[in-house]
Amino acid sequence: AIVDRNLLWDNPVAQKYGIGSLADVFPVEGGCDIKEGSAAAGFPNQYHCGVGTAVFVKVAKMRLAITTAGLARAVGVSEAALYRHFPSKAKMLEALIEFIEDSVFSLINRILEEDRFMRGRCQKIMTVALGFADRNPGISRLLSGEVLLGETERLRKRIDKFYERLETQLKQVLREGEANQELKAVSPVQAQANLMVCLVEGRIQQFVRSGFTVSPLAQWEQQWSLLATCLD
């Protein structure tokens, strides 16, 4: 698991797959102790400790505009010190997007290894995405694209790629379910996978728009029950 299970929110999927916040993955205190096999382990050394770690944790929690000046104040360093770790704000955000992708899809790979049934896979994949956003408000703002206004087109395309990759993964699960006769060919696989991704993206957008008062996981069990009827 990526995080200490004592830090997890109360959700069975989260407890099993270790969905937490960046503060759990990157402990700011205690130096550069990154557990082997954790999502942080593959990151460049400058993100493992000190300023780099603190920046990632602060971005994940930030509910206001993400600026280098604001981050420098939050972390307690000068802007010059911040730029020694990240050449630009765009590079910092790109590294964080890469971390989001690695974290979410490493958990999805675990789900695919451990759950062989289509409905269970789909539910857990969506819960992972929603749970990761729920635990990290700053990441939700990235995934909604809200903080990328005025940033480079490359960053917006990286977020598009995240959702495209999520949809591709769900399509693969549905196609395998269809081949195993778990899914009736009532509607195209592509349409069903797109609906699931639209729900994930919409819940994240609502979370940001509500000022983080409406969790992406609010009423999720009931919503999944409705969605699951389309997979019979």
One-character DSSP codes across 76-108: TS-HHHHHHH-SSHHHHHHHHHHHHHHHHHHHH
**Per the structure block, which two tokens stand in for 228?**
């699951």
Looking at residue 47, what is its pLDDT?
Answer: 39
Report which of residues 63 and 123 the model is more confident about: 123
Mean pLDDT of the chain: 76
Looking at residue 125, what is its pLDDT?
Answer: 95
The residue written with tokens 């929603």 in the block is 130
Name residue 168's amino acid: T
**How sure is the predictor about 57, in pLDDT bands with cuts at 50, 70 and 90?**
low
Closest CA to 148 of 105, 90, 203: 90
Looking at residue 53, what is its pLDDT?
Answer: 52
pLDDT of residue 41 exceeding 90: no
Mean pLDDT of all residues in 76-90: 77
Contact 72, 79 (CB under 8 A): yes
Distances (CA, A) of 61 to 23, 75, 171, 211: 9, 12, 32, 13
Contact 196, 122 (CB under 8 A): yes
pLDDT of residue 48 exceeding 90: no
pLDDT of residue 42 exceeding 90: no
Beta-strand (E) ranges in 142-231? Answer: none
Which of 100-104, 189-193, 196-200 has the lowest average pLDDT?
A: 100-104
Give the H/E segment covering residue 205: helix 189-209
pLDDT of residue 104 exceeding 60: yes
Looking at residue 64, what is its pLDDT?
Answer: 57
Report which of residues 24 and 151 the model is more confident about: 151
Which of 4-18, 104-118, 144-158, 217-231 has the lowest average pLDDT?
A: 4-18
pTM above 0.85, yes or no: no
Mean pLDDT of all residues in 37-57: 44
